[in-house]
Amino acid sequence: MAALIRTEGLHLTFGGVVAADHIDFELHTGERLAVIGQNGAGKTTFINICTGYLKPEAGRVLLEGVDITGMAPRKIVRLGVGRSFQLPQLFTEHTVRQCIQIAAARQNKDLSWFRPLASTVDAHEVEETLELVGLHADAEELSSDLPEGKRKLLDVAMALALRPKLLIMDEPTSGVASEDKHGLMQTVMHALDQRKVTSWFVEHDVEIVARYATRVAAWIAGAVVADGTPEQVLNNPQVKSEVLGT
Ligand SMILES: Nc1ncnc2c1ncn2[C@@H]1O[C@H](COP(=O)(O)OP(=O)(O)OP(=O)(O)O)[C@@H](O)[C@H]1O
Ligand SMILES: [Mg+2]
């Protein structure tokens, strides 16, 4: 069976900086991948290439064997790849429920500008997504009024409303108080399990990586330097000295 995502020779430079260095990578259905690496290692660049936000100078991205290299982000979303952002991309003048409605409406190919938003979206689907991530009690809050942990959760919920096969999360716990990180990840991972979504998340917190990932890949200077189980990668000498600084 074709890998869910496969990259071949992905390469991208910014001036003199090699942000993606001929990356060959595969992700399979059912995996929970954590990507680790220091600031500037190229973790977000790799996500941006795989989700259509950046075009590589060389190489290809295949989704279940289909070449999606350089396709528009919204098309890649429709093919089943959702993402959340390092800084949550919310509709700040809207409530939590409206944010999920707007996200879900994007998936509706029949969306007409002349029809009221609510009529284009299955209301049950929106309620189910709110319940799934535990944001039901906050449904009428303005998204801009939420604390950071719930803003991150809403960003994930908006991606889940599009019913992805794969969800890529760029630092889902960054900016969240350390005592709230595990609760956030538990909620997110439970939601992903319920919907049978494969996941890939960027994370700096080693405890979170060890607890929630089934596989870890370590990035240095645009390249994958270690890839394996959390135990293998977190104990790899190069990863320990150059990524974790321990
Ligand atoms: N749009 C851009 N223009 C110029 N340089 C960029 C751009 N995007 C990324 N870079 C550079 O590419 C390198 C990789 O950046 P990237 O954002 O992918 O790192 P990262 O691993 O996500 O880091 P962080 O942990 O800080 O989020 C860095 O040197 C960065 O400065
Ligand atoms: Mg980044």
The response to whether residue 48 sits with its C-beta less than 6 Å from ligand 1 reads no
Please say whether the beta carbons of 215 and 33 come within 8 A: yes
pLDDT confidence of residue 157 = 94
SS3 53: coil
pLDDT confidence of residue 88 = 76
The response to whether residue 218 sits with its C-beta less than 6 Å from ligand 1 reads no
Residue that the structure tokens 């069976």 belong to: 1
Reported as type and span, the H/E element at residue 232 is helix 230-234
The response to whether residue 45 sits with its C-beta less than 6 Å from ligand 1 reads yes
pLDDT confidence of residue 105 = 81
End-to-end CA distance of the chain: 39
CA of 241 to the centre of ligand 2 (A): 20
The response to whether residue 37 sits with its C-beta less than 6 Å from ligand 1 reads yes
CA of 42 to the centre of ligand 2 (A): 7
Q: Which atom of ligand 1 lies closest to the CA of 45? A: 18
The response to whether residue 40 sits with its C-beta less than 6 Å from ligand 1 reads yes
CA of 99 to the centre of ligand 2 (A): 24
The response to whether residue 39 sits with its C-beta less than 6 Å from ligand 1 reads yes
CA of 121 to the centre of ligand 2 (A): 32
pLDDT confidence of residue 116 = 52
Please say whether the beta carbons of 204 and 220 come within 8 A: no
Question: What is d(CA 3, CA 26) in angstroms, rounded to the nearest whole number?
Answer: 6
Tell me, rounded to whole angstroms, the distance of Cα 89 from its chain centroid: 12
Residue that the structure tokens 């645009």 belong to: 222
pLDDT in 10s for each residue of the chain, 246 residues: 679 999 999 999 999 999 999 999 999 999 999 999 999 999 999 999 999 999 999 999 999 999 999 999 989 999 999 999 888 788 888 999 999 988 888 766 554 554 555 555 678 889 999 999 999 999 999 999 999 999 999 999 999 998 999 999 999 999 999 899 999 999 999 999 999 999 999 999 999 999 999 999 999 999 999 999 999 999 999 999 999 988
Which of 10, 17, 85, 243 to probe ligand 1 with, by most ligand atoms within 8 A of CB?
17
pLDDT confidence of residue 85 = 87
| 129, two tokens | 């997504």
Q: Report yes or no on whether pTM surpasses 0.75.
A: yes
pLDDT confidence of residue 108 = 60
